[in-house]
Chain A
């Protein structure tokens, strides 16, 4: 059973950089049909996709966040990471790391495994 667990600070100051790492266990990160992504959920609000990275480092990002966003992967440690720069209060949210699985029949991806989520608050 694949498990994902994020780690990182729960409090970040405005204008600083938010950094989170997700550790993957119970499955391989190097299978080509997977992407590894981040989704966030502001308090009492819906879901927002942030960005995703493949095991080889190919990335694609939400255009609304692209200018502030970097994701990376370290398969040797079974981890992938997120950095979001110049944060504001609007970036306060529960951050989930997720596995995206590719369906060869439909050429589509689904978010099939989710971490438990980590609340990151942006405040001075």
Chain B
């Protein structure tokens, strides 16, 4: 069971928007910064978002994120078939003294 809670799956039609939630506590999301990772089928995770809402170079602005209190969200607009992947949130947990991740959310483009 993961420390950060994500929905197992979300789906939407091409061109639409999906939002993925990530819920934690005051010892992790509530006290620090969250990052997001995209794992395409059969591939390694890829760095997607850092510092709650910043995109590394090369990540399209269709991907956005935010944090409020002990929860965070990742949004994908203009959904494309190439966005079908597993998405993970991650941050430091001060109580566990460990980097922790959510269980992952599978995005399906209908």
Contacts and interface: CB of A to CB of B under 8 A. Distances in A.
Interface of A: 45-49, 60, 62-64, 96, 103, 105-106, 108-117
Interface in B26-46: 32-33, 35, 37, 43-46
Interface residues of B, number: 25
A103 B43 CA distance: 26
Interface of B: 2, 32-33, 35, 37, 43-47, 50-51, 56, 88, 90, 92, 96-104
Given A46-B102, A46-B103, A114 B33 contact: no
Contacts, number: 61
7 contacts: A46-B103, A47-B101, A62-B98, A103-B50, A110-B47, A111-B99, A116-B43
A20 B74 CA distance: 33
Contacts of A113: 47
